[in-house]
Amino acid sequence: MSLVVFSEDGDRRPLAAEETLRYHGRTFHLASRVLPAQIRSRAARLYAFCRYVDDLADAEHDLVHAARELARLRDDLVRTTPRSAQSADFLALAADIGLPVAPAIDLIDTVSSDLAGRCLSSEAELVHYAYGVAGTVGQMMCSVLGAEDPRAEAHAVDLGIAMQLTNIARDVGEDAGMGRIYLPASWLGQLEPGDILSPNIRQQAALHQATARCLSLADRYYSSGLAGLCFLPNRCRYSIAVAAQVYRAIGDRVAGAGYRSWDRRAIVPTLARLRIGAGALLRQLVNKAGAYAAPVHRIRVIGSSRGPETEVKENALCPPSQTSIS
């Protein structure tokens, strides 16, 4: 489990958070190297908080304890009265940079609902879930990165959703081992976690098709997320471009393995990550145009402190100025 560690004078707080990032978030640690030091420290602190929430939800050995700790953490954020190192650091960061607390509450609510297992019915539910666990992080990162244009937030949400869809496609077997199925039943059929762990030929075909569809949906969100990079300060833009392209490469690895992720986990080796990251950085350095240029946002995502809601717009493009996140 990843914890933010405090020294008595508080000076080690960013260092401990960066250690969490380095050991548990290789892609994001690579991307963070491009950020200015202060922003990198803030990003690491946010990552450490989100990692702590995620680790609690994955604590299979004591679900009662996990539920209690998540509820306590949520209450700390709602009341703005911290009772733990994690809530204290998050609330301090929020106060320092104007980071919204509502997305963090959405995050906690969504991962809390994972404790009882998870089976999604439809694509809309899948997007709804991906917003809750990752689109929310994109929202909060806007404050961390100092994005001043309000249009950046919608793209940040979309990029978070894209990354979560990549996670889902990569971790089909791992999630099934925890009793969770994130590929929706409308794609996959009525499979149980045990079916996924040991699928027959027909079930393998269904898993192949559903995983491919998940990555195709992710590509739509990556396109939207990357289209909003122009709203970020330069060095932040470079960093997020690196993270997005390296993460997207995980999906390429899943596809290259025949979408077989029920009994294996795709990884991007270190040298490949460095090569992909360097390419993403170079493209951003060459493309200095700051104009918004992408007909994106096919899906409008609306979040609230009561939980995420999604409205799927399959046939209508929604320009950035009409995409709302409240």
Please give the mean pLDDT across all residues of the chain: 81
At 221, the pLDDT band (50, 70, 90 cuts) reads very high
List, in order of start, the domains of the chain with CATH numbers. Answer: 13-322 (1.10.600.10)
Biggest CA-to-CA distance, the chain: 60
Dump pLDDT digits (tens) for 55-84: 888 766 788 889 999 999 999 999 999 999
Residue 6: the pLDDT is 35
**Distances from the Cα of 68 to the Cα of 46, 270, 305, angstroms:** 22, 38, 19
**pLDDT at res. 323:** 34
pLDDT classification of 31: cutoffs 50, 70, 90:
low
In this predicted structure, what is the pLDDT of residue 200?
96
Distance CA 314, CA 310 (A): 12
Q: Which of these, 111, 102, 147, 151, lies nearest to 129 by C-alpha position?
A: 111
C-alpha distance from residue 89 to each of 3, 13, 35, 81, 93 (Å):
11, 8, 21, 11, 6
CA proximity to 144, closest of 40, 271, 298: 40
- pLDDT at position 28 is 58
Least confident of 36-40, 46-50, 104-108: 36-40
Position with higher pLDDT, 268 vs 222: 222
Lowest mean pLDDT among 116-125, 210-219, 280-289: 280-289
